[in-house]
A and B are shown apart, each in its own frame.
Chain A
Amino acid sequence: MSKFGVGFSELTDSRKAGAEAALEALDHCSGVHIHLCFLFCTSRHLAEEFFEGVKSILGSVPYIGGFANGVITNNHFGYDGYQCAVGVLEADDMTIHMYLQEGIAANEYETGKNLFHQVARSDLNEAAFILLFDAVNREKGYFQMNFGTPLFEGARSEIEKWPNIVGARMMGDMKFKPTSQWFGDRMTHNAAMAVAFTGNVEMDTIVLQGCYPASSYHTVTKANGAAILEIDGKPALDFAIDFLGPAVQEDLQKIKFFVTLGKNLGDKWVLDNTQYVNRMCVGIDPKQKGLIMAESDMTEGTEFQLMRRGFDLDKIEKEIRTLVRKVEDQGRRPLFSLYFNCAGRATAYSQQNEEDALYVQRAINDRFPVLGFYEAGELAKVAGDLQVLDWSGVFSLFSVKD
């Protein structure tokens, strides 16, 4: 019978933290044969030491994971500190396929293409996929975001349609310090990696959006990569100043966290925020009067609305409970769940007074393990296509038939 265990630690000693979390995770399994180990820790940890600590308990098993700004388990959650989490899977009647492609900082498109070239060769249309990739590109000595949009384009050049897939763009802190990832039995950097599950396992996902539309539709009339240069024919920065009022000119940097834009991929005149892809503004370019977005998908002609950040915590709990009930009604046993949570949604950085992680834990109520982490972009399918989502939570439930 398949089993999954999760462990947590906040020790400052990276090696001990890894060992402590792995030990706790192992407690929930028989420990006979671990088929996969997820591992995440914040950038305050020493990546190598943390990995060694986990390996000191689990030995030579397939690993997949990387830095996160924080982690969530059934009984703990936290961010910005020394949090780390380990999840171990004992897979019965299930096959695990793992893929790695390094070099995302050099070329996202090629990385996506090469990664999914491997996937395409495996013919895993029915598999449940988790895609993780490094958010931080410091190849030039300063921070640049690795974008999902070209990565996905590269991937789509190799596959006919997106499989059942979720994932995350990983970073270790809100300052985007250099990152590390772990794959197989080694450490890696600038990596995009995927793990696919086939056999007796199914993955059901809900996207818990964190924004809702607030304005009328506007159109990107000029863009360059992740920079929106014109909106409705006006310089994007001027548009933002007009929109937000002249007071914002005192500190233009404020714009970058005031502005979230949303693309409605569903019916334009139906108010359904699940069909939106929200995009955070992460910087301004005063010289070109542009807005720098967290992804490069706000291309010319894109219609968008300004979004308000906010979400109904009770709704999170209710939707997860509904999903679990649905799965159980189909005669499947929830094995474990993953929760990819936007780091910005944490109460320390939003107007929320309570952590959504708390409501996820409450919905699960310890009935099955949850392994979650805070990161720089949640990956899920919206309107049939894989998207990088901002300010959302993606909850995936893995279930088996016993």
Chain B
Amino acid sequence: MDNKELLETLNRYEAQIAELQRAVGYYSKLSDEVASYNVQVDSEVILLKRNLEEKRLGYKILLALHEIIGSSINIENFFSSTLELILTTLNMDRVVVFWKEESQKSVLKPTWFLGYAQDEVNAAFSRPLEKAVFENAGEQGILVNKSTRRNEWQDKLSAYIKLPFFLGTRIVDQGQTVGWLIAGREKEALPFYPPLMPENVETFEVMAGFIKATYFNFRLYNRLEQANARLENYNQELEKKVEERTRDIEQSRQELAREKDKSDELLLNILPYDVAEELKNKGYYSAKRLEEETILFTDFVNFTNYSEMMAPEDLVADLDQCFRVFDGIITKHGLEKIKTIGDSYMAAAAVDQGTEESAALSAILAGIEMQEYVQNDFKSHSAQLKVPFRMRLGINTGPVVAGIVGVKKFQYDIWGDTVNTASRMESYGAIGKVNISAATYEYVKNVPYLKFEARGKIEVKGKGEIEMYFVSVDESLKPG
């Protein structure tokens, strides 16, 4: 290749290089323009998407708030969940709810907050915020972003809540501001922390409405709960009182029952059961004629002599002991004690006494036992006496009239000729013997283990002749 050819080749290559360089320049510019366009579109898409996301979050947060309202168990739980939702969903750094104090209606105090460290809370919220701040920071809502021309009140609020960029909305009840919901960010930077926009305030306004409604619902619910609790306490107290009262009444009733038992016992000590029952039930006892009553009388012979020999106390004590034993004996045989008159003891047995023995037999067996006691046991007891106790005992059977006389210290008594005759049986009896009338004899004459000693007819003063028998028990014939 000669020089000319070489030069032509070189020129051709240079031209190609120049062309290639132009092409590179052209494609570089073209690719840069495409890149510029793409980068801008990408970025605008991101911003658009971010704005859409902000709006979507607005709806999302309202939906989530609904769920919180439905699941919150108390007001603290509600605010804690709601504030967390605002922080995490709307990507805020701090959120605070100012609320009117119950005691100071005009003071708005940071009541619920999240995103503040404890030392910030202590430092920032220890002093109250000037009342005028809220009145002047924004009439309905507050929006402070980088482009906002702030007034001094917004600066004061910003310093107080430690947020350079923030938004807030009133919480209104019946036309009155009851609180403020405020949240914000420490930084404003696209795309991570886009400026807070009026749409955010709108979302907050809706949230404030929910918060207000929920707060007052909770308050109402709390009041109802408190009222229920008070009612429950009242009921419990009432139940306690009723229980105490019931216990008192039961105690009183038991005491009363005990007293009544005592009273009944006392009454039965002085009255036969049927008589006592009628007296208790009716308040009085109607005198009754009893057709087959057996009357028993005892009397100590020469009692006056004993009384002279003994100290009165000892005499009464001895007599008391003897009559106590008699009480036991007649009770055992189903007799009813009528009364004692001095040293005389009077008892009666009715046909319906409910024992297996007949009334007359019961009286006789009681009389025999009483005589045995006086002659054996009581004699030994009175061993210091030179003359032992001796007793006559008489029994008669027949009709009597029974009744109660008097109102005070009333006494059950029986009257009639049968009683007088029984007394005579005692007077005309003999020491240590049981003297019965013929009338009584008729009731017991067939009792195999009784031995009778007929005394014949004996003239009784004021009564004429009365047939009498001494009666005793043939122990060999008496069934075991």
Chain A residues within CB distance 8 Å of chain B: 12, 44, 46, 80-82, 174-175, 177, 214-216, 243-245, 248, 253-254, 257-259, 305-306, 308-310, 344, 348-351, 353
B residues near A309, Cβ cutoff 8 Å: 42
A residues near B443, Cβ cutoff 8 Å: none
A residues near B477, Cβ cutoff 8 Å: none
**Given A12-B114, A81-B87, A175-B93, A258–B32 Cβ distance below 8 Å?**
no
Q: Which of B76-92 contact A (CB under 8 A)?
A: 80, 84, 87-88, 91
Distance of A254 Cα from B27 Cα, bound (Å): 27
B residues near A349, Cβ cutoff 8 Å: 46, 50, 191-192
Distance of A244 Cα from B38 Cα, bound (Å): 10
Closest 9 CB pairs of A and B: A215-B35, A81-B88, A216-B28, A214-B35, A174-B192, A175-B187, A258-B43, A351-B46, A351-B45
Distance of A259 Cα from B190 Cα, bound (Å): 13
Distance of A221 Cα from B466 Cα, bound (Å): 167
Distance of A46 Cα from B91 Cα, bound (Å): 18
Q: Which of B1-53 contact A (CB under 8 A)?
A: 27-29, 31-32, 34-36, 38-40, 42-43, 45-46, 49-50, 53
Distance of A295 Cα from B422 Cα, bound (Å): 141
B193 within 8 A of A: yes
A216, B27: Cβ atoms under 8 Å?
yes
B46, A12: Cβ atoms under 8 Å?
no
How close is B25's CB to chain A, nearest CB, in angstroms? 9
**Given A350-B46, A351-B49, A243–B193 Cβ distance below 8 Å?**
no
Chain B residues within CB distance 8 Å of chain A: 27-29, 31-32, 34-36, 38-40, 42-43, 45-46, 49-50, 53, 80, 84, 87-88, 91, 93, 114-115, 117, 185-187, 189-193
Distance of A78 Cα from B302 Cα, bound (Å): 123
Q: For chain B, what secondary structure do more than half of its interface residues adopt (helix, strand, loop), or is it mixed? A: helix
A residues near B187, Cβ cutoff 8 Å: 174-175
A80, B91: Cβ atoms under 8 Å?
yes
A82, B40: Cβ atoms under 8 Å?
no
B191, A308: Cβ atoms under 8 Å?
no
B53, A348: Cβ atoms under 8 Å?
yes
B residues near A44, Cβ cutoff 8 Å: 87, 115
Distance of A245 Cα from B33 Cα, bound (Å): 9
Please name 17 further chain A to chain B contacts, defined as beta carbons within 8 Å, in addition to the given A81-B87, A257-B190, A349-B46, sorted by A numbering.
A82-B84, A82-B88, A174-B189, A174-B192, A175-B192, A214-B34, A214-B35, A216-B27, A216-B28, A243-B35, A253-B189, A253-B190, A257-B46, A257-B191, A306-B32, A306-B36, A306-B39
12 contacts between A and B (CB under 8 A): A46-B117, A174-B189, A214-B39, A215-B36, A243-B36, A248-B40, A254-B43, A257-B46, A308-B42, A310-B42, A348-B53, A353-B49
A residues near B93, Cβ cutoff 8 Å: 175
B31, A215: Cβ atoms under 8 Å?
yes
**Given A80-B88, A215-B35, A351-B49, A244–B193 Cβ distance below 8 Å?**
no
How close is A171's CB to chain B, nearest CB, in angstroms? 12
Distance of A348 Cα from B50 Cα, bound (Å): 7
Distance of A216 Cα from B24 Cα, bound (Å): 9
A residues near B39, Cβ cutoff 8 Å: 214, 244, 258-259, 306, 308
Residue of A nearest to B83 (CB): A12
Distance of A349 Cα from B43 Cα, bound (Å): 10
How close is A245's CB to chain B, nearest CB, in angstroms? 6
A351, B42: Cβ atoms under 8 Å?
yes
How close is B295's CB to chain A, nearest CB, in angstroms? 99
B43, A12: Cβ atoms under 8 Å?
no
How close is A101's CB to chain B, nearest CB, in angstroms? 28
**Given A175-B186, A216-B27, A244–B40 Cβ distance below 8 Å?**
yes
Distance of A12 Cα from B116 Cα, bound (Å): 12
Residue of A nearest to B47 (CB): A254
How close is A291's CB to chain B, nearest CB, in angstroms? 14
A216, B88: Cβ atoms under 8 Å?
no
Residue of A nearest to B37 (CB): A245
How close is A9's CB to chain B, nearest CB, in angstroms? 13
**Given A175-B186, A244-B39, A12–B27 Cβ distance below 8 Å?**
no
Residue of A nearest to B186 (CB): A175
Distance of A353 Cα from B29 Cα, bound (Å): 31
Distance of A308 Cα from B80 Cα, bound (Å): 41
Residue of A nearest to B31 (CB): A216
Residue of B nearest to A216 (CB): B28
A254, B190: Cβ atoms under 8 Å?
yes
Distance of A254 Cα from B46 Cα, bound (Å): 12
How close is A7's CB to chain B, nearest CB, in angstroms? 19
Distance of A344 Cα from B84 Cα, bound (Å): 23
**Given A216-B28, A350-B46, A258–B84 Cβ distance below 8 Å?**
no
How close is A295's CB to chain B, nearest CB, in angstroms? 19
A residues near B38, Cβ cutoff 8 Å: 214, 308
A216, B32: Cβ atoms under 8 Å?
yes
B residues near A243, Cβ cutoff 8 Å: 32, 35-36
B residues near A81, Cβ cutoff 8 Å: 87-88
B190, A306: Cβ atoms under 8 Å?
no
B residues near A177, Cβ cutoff 8 Å: 186
How close is A249's CB to chain B, nearest CB, in angstroms? 13
Distance of A214 Cα from B91 Cα, bound (Å): 32
Distance of A257 Cα from B39 Cα, bound (Å): 10
A residues near B35, Cβ cutoff 8 Å: 214-216, 243, 305-306, 308
How close is A327's CB to chain B, nearest CB, in angstroms? 35
A12, B84: Cβ atoms under 8 Å?
yes
A174, B193: Cβ atoms under 8 Å?
yes
How close is A162's CB to chain B, nearest CB, in angstroms? 32
How close is A254's CB to chain B, nearest CB, in angstroms? 6
B residues near A259, Cβ cutoff 8 Å: 39
A residues near B32, Cβ cutoff 8 Å: 215-216, 243, 306
Residue of A nearest to B192 (CB): A174
How close is A334's CB to chain B, nearest CB, in angstroms? 32
How close is A253's CB to chain B, nearest CB, in angstroms? 7
Distance of A177 Cα from B191 Cα, bound (Å): 17
B residues near A348, Cβ cutoff 8 Å: 50, 53, 91
Distance of A12 Cα from B84 Cα, bound (Å): 8
B residues near A258, Cβ cutoff 8 Å: 39-40, 43
How close is B376's CB to chain A, nearest CB, in angstroms? 96
Distance of A214 Cα from B87 Cα, bound (Å): 37
B residues near A244, Cβ cutoff 8 Å: 36, 39-40
How close is B28's CB to chain A, nearest CB, in angstroms? 4
A residues near B28, Cβ cutoff 8 Å: 216
Residue of B nearest to A80 (CB): B91
Distance of A353 Cα from B50 Cα, bound (Å): 11
